[in-house]
Amino acid sequence: MKKFLVVLVLIITVNVTNAQTMPEAFLGLLPVPPGNVCSEGEDDAKTAFIQKIGEVHDQLEEEISRRKDEIEAKMKANEGKMMQNAMARTGVSPELMQQMMALEKQNKGATGDQKKAYEAQKKAMADQMIQQSMNISMGEIDNLKKMDKAGQTAWATAYATEKKAEVMADPLAVQKKTATDMKNYQLLTKQRQLTDSLNAQSTKYMIQFQELDNDKNAVAIQAQIKELEEKLNEDYKKENRPNDNAIKALTNQIRDLQISYCNLQSPKYLEILSRYKTFMQASLMPYYRLEKLTYQVTASQTGVEIDAEPGLMGLQQVESFLRQLSDIYKYNHITPKYVYIGIE
């Protein structure tokens, strides 16, 4: 009974730990933007928000890095098996493939006569590979290039007849290969369609953030601020500069424009951010499906199943959202009252 309880506690602990590292858990850690992102200077809400963003960012980066390292380790551990499966699909014998790889390694950086000998060996070995995989020699290919249209047609007819005979000799093998090819095609199609759909929606929000930066009214305010800052800087450098009241007036003009700029842009930014978060939350389940499809495609192409923890793609989406969330103060450049703004 005690042993059962220990095992049960271990299982619960593992499940809780896994739950804490899933995209949904990180979403729950994200701080809510403070009420007024156009507040001046530092305050407790802004400090707490920035500090929380940093904490979540570090945890998220660590988790994403851990998962990537695990996947990379699994891929590396199965490199040999993947290579064997790839060779088997080509129809080329493992021995011949290994000979070709050894030849390329031995003659890396070869020059002169050594390079010529290497090229000759490589060509002979490539000829063997083509014969094994397609039952055609390099000599036949060279002759085919020299043939007239009638000769090429006759050769193609003969080749097709030969391939038909191979099908008739083992129809079950051909049916199995056709079914496998169709399954792989369907997997790739689903993966591509889901990827395109999610990318299109995500890109839509990135474009909206970019368009906000280029808003003509905001750009006009920025131009006014720059012009006044340059004037203030020049006045401040003059030997007989304007009196303090004039300097203060110019400084306040700049400050008022900075406040207008923040009040114009920040609410729009937060609105886009809110819609982006809604999409990101809704997209987590589709990203789980895309992740599963991606691993299925990898397995079908390599013959090796990578048993990775689900949620990496979702975590990367949370990371993308976090970058935008951490930028909510990007339009707040409000200078305290009566502080000189100098331009280097």
CA distance 107 to 85: 26
Which pLDDT value is given to residue 216?
96
CA distance 107 to 116: 10
Residues 76-117 pLDDT 10s: 888 777 777 766 666 666 676 677 677 777 777 667 777 777
Full 3-state SS string of 265-327:
HHHHHHHHHHHHHHHHHHHHHHHHHHHHHHHHHHHHHHCCCCCCCCCHHHHHHHHHHHHHHCC
User: Which residues, 6 or more positions from 302, have their beta carbon under 8 angstroms from its beta carbon?
Assistant: 78, 81, 82, 85, 86
Which pLDDT value is given to residue 161?
67
Name the residue ranges covered by the structural domains of the chain.
47-77+177-325, 95-105+114-171
Helices (H) and strands (E) in the chain, counts: 12, 0
pTM for this structure? 0.72
Identify the segments of the chain with pLDDT beneath 50.
Answer: 4-17, 344
Residues 103-113 pLDDT 10s: 777 777 667 77
Which pLDDT value is given to residue 135?
62
The helix, strand and coil proportions of the chain, stated in percent and rounded to the nearest 5, come to: 80, 0, 20
Which pLDDT value is given to residue 96?
67
CA distance 35 to 40: 13
Which pLDDT value is given to residue 24?
94
